[in-house]
Amino acid sequence: MFICIAIHEFSRFAQFSRSAAFQAGATSAGSSAQDPIDTVGDLAFLRPGTDALRSIATPPRSVARSTALVKAGIKSLVSRLKGKVLVVIGGTTGIGFSAARAFVEAGARVVVVGRDPDNVTLAQKSLGASARAIAGDATHPKTAPKAIQAARKAFGGFHGLYHVAGGSGRRKGDGPLHELTDEGWDYTLNLNLTSMFHSNRAAVRQFLKQGGGGTVLNMGSVLGWSPSPEYFATHGYATTKAAIVGLTKSAAAYYAKDSIRFNVLAPALVDTPMSERAQSDDAIMEFIRTKQPLDGGRIGQPGDLDSAAVYLMSDESRFVTGQVLAVDGGWCVSEGQY
């Protein structure tokens, strides 16, 4: 916002200066000790009793400083995570991979973890020298600690963890409560909730050990509090996503004194391998058109969450913890038409 305003105002100043100088026949090589414009911070004010045309025709001292600030601001847009070393659990495909790529573009160095060795190889090639991709099962208690230590060894630090790993247990028996099997329940909780428990515990242990705080971002879902019984009645999955909010908020409250932040990013339906069932169903996609009406009514894309993830992993959100940010295309405020 500041950058846009500064560029706009500087452009207006330049245009008006040229016009004023032409009309007044004024020329100036720069300001002097008698500069008729006072500056306070980055704001410029005419001194009382000065000629407006002569004053505006003389560039104030703040212009050079404002220009420098604008240039620095533009540069900061691509270095919001400079110096950060981040771990993304579930970062080789879909939302996690898109976020990892955005983190690298914003100046971070990352370690991404995924189950499929082929996807791990592809992620490493795509992310380049600023990343390390390793294979691992997020439900295993040693995977997250291994990734964190890999980050410290490769890049010399660890500042944040983004837990994206998870998925549907529908094929294992998740569904409406009266149909939900024991296997479906156990599988879904292990995949979505226990995996997050392992990664969050590993992260907070390392943060406490090294001091200086840190940040944890967890992947939730609007289904944790905004159900859709017609098409998305997997009650085990909804339970895990509601529990993720509970654990995140409890941890945020407990560790705030240590400057360790916990937040949740909650999408609705996004174009990922997990949503292939929904994407192949014309009735569901028509429902999504009205349930997620933003941007013409569509399914979300992994990149739709990137900016929010960068913000919540950066120092820009240093005063934000225990929050749930829904990036849902309007899901939570729209009825959806069947």
Q: Which helix (H) or strand (E) holds 307?
A: helix 306-313
Is 237 labeled as catalytic in the residue annotation?
yes
Alpha-carbon distances, residue 147 vs 73, 197, 246, 259 (angstroms)? 33, 15, 25, 22
Site of tokens 């579930």: 90
DSSP result, 162-184: EE------GGGT-SSTTT--HHH
Residue 11 structure tokens: 């452009």
The helix/strand count (H/E) of the chain reads as 12, 9
Alpha-carbon distances, residue 203 vs 78, 95, 149, 198 (angstroms)? 26, 20, 10, 9
d(CA 335, CA 292): 9
Alpha-carbon distances, residue 301 vs 106, 273, 295 (angstroms)? 19, 12, 12
d(CA 116, CA 85): 23
The residue among 100, 109, 116, 229 whose CA lies nearest residue 167 is: 116
Alpha-carbon distances, residue 310 vs 12, 78, 95, 104, 162 (angstroms)? 32, 11, 13, 10, 10
Catalytic residue among 162, 187, 237, 311: 237
d(CA 188, CA 100): 25
| Cα-based angle 234, 240, 243 (whole degrees, multiple of 5) | 140
Contact 147, 137 (CB under 8 A): no
Instruction: Identify the burial level of 226 via C-beta atoms within 10 angstroms of its C-beta, where 0-12 means exposed, 13-18 middle and 19 or more buried.
Output: middle
Question: Which residues belong to the active site?
Answer: 237
